[in-house]
Amino acid sequence: MQKLLLAVDRASTILGQTFSWLIMALTLMISWEVFSRYVLDHPHPWAFDVMIMLYGSVFMLAGAYTLSKNGHVRGDVLYGFFPPRLQAGLDLALYLLFFIPGVFALAWAGYNFAAESWMINEHSNITADGPPVYPFKMVLPVAGAFLLVQGVVEIIRCVICLQTGEWPKRAEDVEEVDVAKLKEMVHVKDEDIAGLSAFVVNNKENQK
């Protein structure tokens, strides 16, 4: 079971990391459009639409990746102080009541929007020569499907935690600095930090 969970995590990670390169494309495009508009005096009317589509694609397709890393923002500041089983129970209830119905609706509605957009060869109507919209609308069902699969994996993790009292391990990825691990890597102890702090304080007092 753990191998299956990690396999889905890796798929979500590959998806998120692959489409994260759109940020580079978006940055280059914005830079070129600013240069073209203000230096060459040659703006492109379709540029704003394409920028929105690129940013929206990154935002949507990174959802499953962020969920696989447990990186979404939590609104409850007390959550981190709860024992694992209580955390799992709360997460499970929220996944079943809100997450799964909402994401399923996103994937289903997104599929209908994308299918209709393909059939009518939809283009943006903000400008006279707007870019095609149907590739961007295809992102909705794809992102919704990956997010739904990752949500099922998170539900399984909640069930496992309720049974064992511990959260299953996740695939390793780039994380924020762990102070404890950093101390261990550089072989620094709390006593050394305390002694250095006392030395600094005494040195300042002597200077006064």
Do 109 and 185 belong together in one domain? no
Do 168 and 189 belong together in one domain? no
> pLDDT digits over 79-97, tens only?
878 899 999 999 999 999 9
Task: Measure the CA–CA gap between 20 and 83, rounded to whole angstroms.
Answer: 34
Confidence of residue 9 (pLDDT cuts 50, 70, 90): confident
Query: Which amino acid, residue 73?
Result: V
Do 121 and 196 belong together in one domain? no
Do 113 and 187 belong together in one domain? no
> pLDDT digits over 56-81, tens only?
999 899 999 989 888 887 777 778 78
Task: Measure the CA–CA gap between 8 and 149, rounded to whole angstroms.
Answer: 8
Residue 126 structural domain = 2-175
Do 198 and 162 belong together in one domain? no
Q: How far apart are the first and last CA of the chain?
A: 64
How high is the pLDDT of residue 3? Answer: 81
Do 106 and 192 belong together in one domain? no
- What pTM was computed for the model? 0.74
> pLDDT digits over 97-124, tens only?
999 999 999 999 999 999 999 999 888 8
Does residue 117 contact residue 134 with C-beta atoms inside 8 Å?
yes
Does residue 123 contact residue 132 with C-beta atoms inside 8 Å?
yes
Do 103 and 125 belong together in one domain? yes
> pLDDT digits over 128-159, tens only?
778 889 989 999 999 999 999 999 999 999 99
Do 113 and 199 belong together in one domain? no
Do 74 and 43 belong together in one domain? yes
Does residue 12 contact residue 150 with C-beta atoms inside 8 Å?
yes
Task: Measure the CA–CA gap between 185 and 178, rounded to whole angstroms.
Answer: 11
Do 130 and 203 belong together in one domain? no
Do 143 and 190 belong together in one domain? no
Do 60 and 115 belong together in one domain? yes
- The count of C-alpha atoms lying within 13 angstroms of the C-alpha of 61, restricted to the half-sphere facing its C-beta, is 23
Does residue 14 contact residue 61 with C-beta atoms inside 8 Å?
no
Domains contained in the chain, number: 2
